[in-house]
Chains A and B, each alone.
Chain A
């Protein structure tokens, strides 16, 4: 079995799977269960300032989007930070950390954007013996209306300022959790880095309304007939999260900044993908909330088997391995030509590729009277839609054309060399190669 030991900005855990700051990490009881199940670490649900705790709604806190067979694809929530007393949480954190010294315990914090507030809470957290803190600059609902959470995360100057305070008043690693509800994720990440953050974690949840009740006209989750936007997470947000992670991983001002990946991690494969895009570890919430803590067993065995298969001896071995391959559209090789190919052995003749291509794409699939579906190479632009709509895995594949062959669609020979848009004759701004 591969060594899954994780060292994220000096915080050690037996595996890179942490539970994100969220309902599963709100209490000692849950966190102990998580550690017993095998989770490498937790980010304790966000603590607020001393005093009367926040209150939550007393109706539904979650809304969902489903796929076939009621598989939960997306979850949204309107829950706030912990609604339990600060000292109760601190005592529990201290006890749990003492009992699980090999696990990572990071404390999420969200207090007002005032130096005194941070100065007050940081020593209390330091005293728990927890391994680090995560600054919640992402919560998109409720707290943001009070000038915290995403309201801070959307102003890079505030991020830098608060991060600086934390580095001043706290001795252990400071992770800044970013909100995706922003145009350019590199700006807040750069601000965190400028403020001295040890790492960023992302994404927090996305502003969302999951559904509208067509009888009552209330958004869901509905509280007495009204709804407010919540934070969206789960498998549906993974592509958004991975794009943002990759932007930070390759950004000129942010490259090298450690990243804890969050957003729809559901399987070992999702975790591996986040790590290849530059993450040092991953945080999970929705998958645990959907299936329970036991899923970490699959994540551990899956990642371990894959690492063994690929010969990776540590997480660091492949962390960021895909980053060099993330580029801008303009640098994609326009000389690369591929064609869809349908494996007739595995085709079940559902015709979905045909409907998709014929109705909405390039009329590049033929259908015979006896339901044999074949790609018309002279029409196929290799858009991949047929692959995406096919219900059978690996039935339709994209096959690269060898250089020297003639693309029957364009009549042009497939070139072996690389050529992108920046030099393409159709580009008015093309840089002409020297004669």
Chain B
């Protein structure tokens, strides 16, 4: 190994293959059968359980945990997947510490929630590991639906529509399906090709055609889709990234965090993936944390997460913040970028300290940086879309847009928390509404 974490500049191979494998292995190793039983035994089977209320997809958590406890993990998986077809991914990436596990009565009682996320993974892995797809299609209706985006919202919508008997075509701009599951989530949360395996498993239901490398606006228009299909669901996420908007923001070494993560996720060999010695990530959300932590895991010597407000205002959960800290990421707060310095390539980034009201204090600080990753929010791209609201497609009810016959959900639409699980819920609910609209069938 010729490079090390101390090597200056942006370079690959800071860590050897063994270290990288270790760093990017499963964040939460899967529970084995015994561990699952021990964890399941802790569930109190609450009445009208708070965890269910907290779950955006309303999974019947006490029921599926009881099914695990009684030795029927496949039945548990069906309970999960009937509400959330991407229950396997959500088990891995959901911020359970701010959803189901936060309100678990045993968290209230003892500060230790039932391990709902890990139990969900145990059940879904058990079923999917056998290649079993427990859903079959209703009689074919002859209706066709176009779904734009093969991410959590689009695939959830497509699957539910296919189950209901409709024929679905999914268009995605990327070469691979999965959306952010495939391109946008930290590798240690979904290792070993799980995102693709889940899509393959989901597709077993039949009735869904995937069309990749087809972007809305360039390869196909909403007008064409509306004309050709009985209904359209838009779930293409947010394609644009907010610019830094400061002097020097276009210097080499200033990247979008989403691109950095996508490159990492698609890299066959992490030893060949370059990373800076001094990395600064700007932002306070999940993407920022994912980028910062992975920079550190790739071997960056110094990683700084710079956020404009206090830690309590960060979108990343406390768990995520603590994860970053535990991996050696330094979290700076109350700083906004003022300028990027460097001769062609970034060498330093200059911040100004701001108060809680975001007013500048006049004090500045320079942080060494040979890589700056922007994670300051994403924007919706495209023309000819339904009416927008605050930069996203405005929806009412179960994802109805301003255009008749066009629904939307996931990150590109208003509502939701930009989480995988809310995208799945919105896709599913839109599918039910589309079904009702196409067949007149009341839910």
In the bound complex, residues from chain A placing their C-beta under 8 Å from that of B390 are: none
Q: Are A352 and B44 in contact (CB under 8 A)?
A: yes
Closest residue of A by beta carbon distance from B49: A351
Q: Are A349 and B105 in contact (CB under 8 A)?
A: yes
Residue A68 is within 8 A (CB to CB) of chain B in the complex: yes
Cβ of B47 to closest chain A Cβ, rounded Å: 3
In the bound complex, residues from chain A placing their C-beta under 8 Å from that of B42 are: 68
Residue A8 is within 8 A (CB to CB) of chain B in the complex: no
Which A348-392 residues have a C-beta within 8 angstroms of B? Answer: 348-352, 354-355, 367, 371, 391-392
Q: Are B41 and A350 in contact (CB under 8 A)?
A: no
User: Interface size (A, Cβ < 8 Å)?
Assistant: 14
Closest residue of A by beta carbon distance from B110: A348
Q: Are B105 and A348 in contact (CB under 8 A)?
A: yes
In the bound complex, residues from chain A placing their C-beta under 8 Å from that of B109 are: 348, 391-392
Among A68, A70, A348, A367, the residue within 8 A (CB) of B48 is: A367
Which B38-85 residues have a C-beta within 8 angstroms of A? Answer: 38, 41-42, 44-50
Task: State A70–B108 Cα separation when bound (angstroms).
Answer: 24
Q: Are A351 and B48 in contact (CB under 8 A)?
A: yes
Q: Are B45 and A348 in contact (CB under 8 A)?
A: no
B contacts, CB < 8 Å to A: 37-38, 41-42, 44-50, 105-106, 108-109
Task: State A354–B105 Cα separation when bound (angstroms).
Answer: 15
Closest residue of B by beta carbon distance from A351: B47
Task: State A348–B103 Cα separation when bound (angstroms).
Answer: 10
In the bound complex, residues from chain A placing their C-beta under 8 Å from that of B50 are: 349, 371
Q: Are B41 and A391 in contact (CB under 8 A)?
A: no
Q: A348-B109, A350-B105, A392-B109 are in contact. Are A68 and B46 (CB under 8 A)?
A: no
Task: State A391–B110 Cα separation when bound (angstroms).
Answer: 12
Q: List 20 A-B contacts (CB under 8 A).
A: A68-B41, A68-B42, A69-B38, A348-B105, A348-B108, A349-B46, A349-B50, A349-B108, A350-B44, A350-B46, A350-B47, A351-B46, A351-B48, A352-B44, A352-B45, A352-B46, A354-B47, A371-B50, A391-B44, A391-B109
In the bound complex, residues from chain B placing their C-beta under 8 Å from that of A367 are: 47-48
Q: Are A355 and B38 in contact (CB under 8 A)?
A: no
Task: State A233–B108 Cα separation when bound (angstroms).
Answer: 36
Q: Are A70 and B37 in contact (CB under 8 A)?
A: yes
Closest residue of A by beta carbon distance from B34: A70
Q: Are A355 and B105 in contact (CB under 8 A)?
A: no
Closest residue of A by beta carbon distance from B106: A348
9 pairs of A and B residues whose beta carbons are closest in the complex = A351-B47, A355-B47, A68-B41, A348-B109, A348-B105, A350-B46, A350-B105, A350-B44, A348-B108
Cβ contacts A230-270/B at 8 Å (1 or 0 each)? 00000000000000000000000000000000000000000
With A69-B41, A350-B44 known, 14 other A-B pairs at CB within 8 A are A68-B41, A68-B42, A70-B41, A348-B105, A348-B108, A349-B46, A350-B46, A351-B46, A351-B47, A352-B45, A354-B47, A371-B50, A391-B109, A392-B109
Cβ of A213 to closest chain B Cβ, rounded Å: 13
In the bound complex, residues from chain A placing their C-beta under 8 Å from that of B49 are: 351
Closest residue of A by beta carbon distance from B40: A68
Cβ of A64 to closest chain B Cβ, rounded Å: 15
Which A307-362 residues have a C-beta within 8 angstroms of B? Answer: 348-352, 354-355
Cβ of B110 to closest chain A Cβ, rounded Å: 9
Task: State A352–B44 Cα separation when bound (angstroms).
Answer: 8
Task: State A75–B50 Cα separation when bound (angstroms).
Answer: 36
Cβ of B215 to closest chain A Cβ, rounded Å: 45
Cβ of B36 to closest chain A Cβ, rounded Å: 12
Cβ of A351 to closest chain B Cβ, rounded Å: 3
Task: State A391–B43 Cα separation when bound (angstroms).
Answer: 11
Task: State A350–B42 Cα separation when bound (angstroms).
Answer: 12
Closest residue of B by beta carbon distance from A390: B44
Closest residue of A by beta carbon distance from B107: A348
Cβ of B39 to closest chain A Cβ, rounded Å: 10
Task: State A367–B49 Cα separation when bound (angstroms).
Answer: 12
Cβ of A395 to closest chain B Cβ, rounded Å: 10
Cβ of B114 to closest chain A Cβ, rounded Å: 11
Closest residue of B by beta carbon distance from A67: B41
Task: State A349–B105 Cα separation when bound (angstroms).
Answer: 7
Closest residue of B by beta carbon distance from A66: B41
Which A22-78 residues have a C-beta within 8 angstroms of B? Answer: 68-70
Of the candidates B46, B47, B108, the one having the most CB atoms from chain A within 10 angstroms of its own CB is B47
